[in-house]
Chains A and B, each alone.
Chain A
Amino acid sequence: MNGRQSMIEILKPGLFSTIQDKGRVGLQSYGIPHSGSMDSFSSDLGNKILGNNVENAVMEITMIGPVLEFKTSSIICITGADLSPFINNVNVLMNTSLVVKKNDVLSFGRLIDGLRSYIAISGGFKTEKAYNSRSMCKNVTKAVRLNKNDILKFDKSVTLSDSELLVKNIKSFGNVLSVYKGPEFFMLNSYQQNYIMSHEFSISNSYNRMAVQLKDLIVNELVSIITSPVIPGTVQLTPNGTLIILMRDCQTTGGYPRILQLEEKSINSVSQLKKNSKLNFKLKI
């Protein structure tokens, strides 16, 4: 070992943990999903607190956190949902840089709020790239999630400087989603439009990195459109009246009417909502 290659071992992977960065922009014409951190605000925040580039890869963890053992010392920062982080069984702060030493164990406890938390590390994780991104995604990268006993490399060549920066009360969370009208919004009748803009919706038990499905049905007679482009944040209306919010790993094309389009910051908010969470849509224009 030359000392530059540093490592973390995954003792337990948690519910669903992946490596994410800014994703694969500009490759959607090949059918390749955009991917990248679901809550890009929290992911960027962690990198910024550490003085990293926002393009550096972070670990995205979901609902139940992993247990990680550091084989090398480093500096990390935990942002996003509060999953009660511990280092060696001692509660640690979020949104600030944390020094971890060799053999330290990072673990998580109870989910206090939100859904997805981010672990940024000084210099970023150095996992395998596909199409110039480390974002794990089915059909794109070999590894689609982190598993027990995986060894993650990171680059320690960067100087470790404990910046002492603590960011308080910064959250990407919210239940009011600001939206634009989608290309097929005009196909809805005024009753449907008013209903969608005034109803409090709740999240069904189907919510993942591809899409978040809402529970409440809308009376709908709209037929499908011919296959057309969709992007993260597109809200589709299915023939049975279900609203589906497309998320970062969504397909690049779809055949359901696109009735709303979430603003970027609202995609981050949805990323932190779980089953039964309430939400409202608010028109931007």
Chain B
Amino acid sequence: MNKNFFINYFQFNSSSILISWENSIENDIIFDVLSFKNAINNNIKQILEVRNAYSSLLVTYKYSIDNIYSEIKTLKQVYLNKIKINLVERKTWRIPVCYDKFFSKDLDNISTSLNLSRNQIIKLHHENKYMVCFLGFLPGFLYLSNLNKKLYFPRKSVPDLSVAKGSVGIGGSQTGVYPSDSPGGWNIIGNSPVNFINTSTDEISFAQPGDLIKFYPITLEEHQVILKESNKFKFEWEAIND
């Protein structure tokens, strides 16, 4: 089924064009955005980078744009001929998370406010598969969708000055992992011992937009073992079959 979207093209600066869908977070839109992104990467030369967010694409050219109308015309043609993203080729990454009291400093607060036990929250958090929509905020930070509505919980009104690397948090309708120490306003419910950003150039991040993330609970002891050799952690994935 092919849904028709209204798409807006806008010159953002001398060398980039912003393509926007309606201002909404929906799977249909994200898949359309990712399909268009693939098509641009495969069909247009002189592209420095195409990056996406929930409902937009930023196309950055290697050079200044000479004729904006002709570039937009080319993009529109690529959109019409694009192939829908192959959802089966995506990966589900298995990521360990320790929900031990040692890390989950805001879990009791969420538990009281939402009237759910600690174990219920932990179960609801790791039983869902999350989709990587894009990376942003910090190097290696994954914007994930599909948090269980029962776990929606507002951000802190005053952000913490320092949230530890690996912290797993809930902020509003979102969940995610802090890839480095950072100020932040999300409520922390656990910690992942793996590196979300790699300093070697060949594979900066294990995950691509469109991939899924499945968290699995580990004990504090297991967390310490993985953390000690986090550089050697082997990311495991499964093919998507649902």
Chain A residues at the B interface, C-beta cutoff of 8 Å = 25-33, 130-132, 139-140, 180, 182-183, 225-229, 231, 233, 251-253, 261, 263-264
Taking the closest CB of chain A, its distance from the CB of B61, in whole angstroms, is 11
Contact digits for B1-35, partner A, Cβ 8 Å, 1 yes 0 no: 00000000011111010101001110000000000
Once bound together, how far apart are the Cα atoms of A199 and B180, in whole Å? 39
Question: Which chain A positions have C-beta within 8 A of B16?
Answer: 231
B51 an interface residue at 8 Å Cβ cutoff? yes
B135 touching A231, Cβ below 8 Å: no
B135 touching A29, Cβ below 8 Å: yes
Once bound together, how far apart are the Cα atoms of A180 and B10, in whole Å? 11
Segment at the A interface, from B101-109, B196-204, B212-220, B224-232: B196-204
Once bound together, how far apart are the Cα atoms of A253 and B135, in whole Å? 8
B71 an interface residue at 8 Å Cβ cutoff? no
Once bound together, how far apart are the Cα atoms of A150 and B221, in whole Å? 39
Offer 24 A-B interface pairs, CB within 8 angstroms, sorted by A: A25-B48, A26-B60, A27-B204, A29-B49, A30-B140, A30-B197, A31-B137, A31-B138, A31-B141, A31-B179, A32-B139, A32-B204, A132-B201, A139-B182, A140-B139, A182-B12, A183-B12, A183-B18, A226-B55, A229-B58, A252-B137, A253-B53, A261-B12, A264-B14
Listed from nearest, the 10 A-B pairs whose CB atoms lie closest are A253-B136, A29-B51, A229-B58, A31-B135, A26-B49, A139-B180, A32-B139, A31-B139, A228-B53, A30-B204
Which B residue sits closest to A142, measured CB to CB? B199
Question: Which chain B positions have C-beta within 8 A of A26?
Answer: 48-49, 60
A25 touching B201, Cβ below 8 Å: no
Once bound together, how far apart are the Cα atoms of A204 and B208, in whole Å? 38
Question: Which chain B positions have C-beta within 8 A of A228?
Answer: 20, 53-56
Question: Which chain B positions have C-beta within 8 A of A140?
Answer: 139
B205 an interface residue at 8 Å Cβ cutoff? yes
A31 touching B201, Cβ below 8 Å: no
Q: How large is the interface on B (under 10, 10 to 19, 20 to 34, 35 or more residues)?
A: 35 or more
B186 an interface residue at 8 Å Cβ cutoff? no
Question: Which chain B positions have C-beta within 8 A of A29?
Answer: 49-52, 134-135, 209
Most A CB contacts (10 A, CB to CB) among B13, B23, B201 go to B13
| Known A139-B180, A226-B25; further 8 A-B contacts with Cβ < 8 A | A25-B49, A29-B135, A31-B179, A231-B16, A252-B137, A263-B14, A264-B13, A264-B14
Question: Which chain B positions have C-beta within 8 A of A229?
Answer: 18, 51-53, 56, 58, 136
CB-contacts of B64-81 with A (<8 A): none
B143 an interface residue at 8 Å Cβ cutoff? yes
Question: Which chain B positions have C-beta within 8 A of A30?
Answer: 135, 139-140, 197, 204-205
Taking the closest CB of chain B, its distance from the CB of A250, in whole angstroms, is 11
B136 touching A31, Cβ below 8 Å: yes
B204 touching A131, Cβ below 8 Å: yes
Taking the closest CB of chain B, its distance from the CB of A152, in whole angstroms, is 21
Once bound together, how far apart are the Cα atoms of A225 and B55, in whole Å? 11
Would A130 and B199 be within 8 Å (CB), given that A31-B138, A227-B136, A231-B13 are in contact? yes
Of the candidates A25, A131, A226, A253, the one whose C-beta lies within 8 Å of that of B137 is A253
Question: Which chain B positions have C-beta within 8 A of A28?
Answer: 49, 51
Question: Which chain B positions have C-beta within 8 A of A253?
Answer: 53, 134, 136-137, 143
Once bound together, how far apart are the Cα atoms of A110 and B137, in whole Å? 37
Taking the closest CB of chain B, its distance from the CB of A135, in whole angstroms, is 13
CB-contacts of B128-159 with A (<8 A): 134-141, 143
Taking the closest CB of chain A, its distance from the CB of B203, in whole angstroms, is 10
Once bound together, how far apart are the Cα atoms of A26 and B16, in whole Å? 12
Taking the closest CB of chain A, its distance from the CB of B27, in whole angstroms, is 14
Question: Which chain A positions have C-beta within 8 A of B141?
Answer: 31
Taking the closest CB of chain B, its distance from the CB of A62, in whole angstroms, is 22
Of the candidates A25, A132, A139, A183, the one whose C-beta lies within 8 Å of that of B139 is A139
Question: Which chain B positions have C-beta within 8 A of A263?
Answer: 13-14
Taking the closest CB of chain B, its distance from the CB of A30, in whole angstroms, is 5
Once bound together, how far apart are the Cα atoms of A225 and B20, in whole Å? 12
Of the candidates A31, A33, A226, A261, the one whose C-beta lies within 8 Å of that of B23 is A226
Which B residue sits closest to A129, measured CB to CB? B201
B136 touching A252, Cβ below 8 Å: yes
Once bound together, how far apart are the Cα atoms of A145 and B87, in whole Å? 43
Taking the closest CB of chain B, its distance from the CB of A257, in whole angstroms, is 11
Once bound together, how far apart are the Cα atoms of A140 and B179, in whole Å? 11
Taking the closest CB of chain B, its distance from the CB of A239, in whole angstroms, is 13
Question: Which chain A positions have C-beta within 8 A of B11?
Answer: 180
CB-contacts of B37-62 with A (<8 A): 48-56, 58, 60
B58 touching A231, Cβ below 8 Å: yes
Once bound together, how far apart are the Cα atoms of A140 and B205, in whole Å? 13
Which A residue sits closest to B64, measured CB to CB? A264
Which B residue sits closest to A29, measured CB to CB? B51
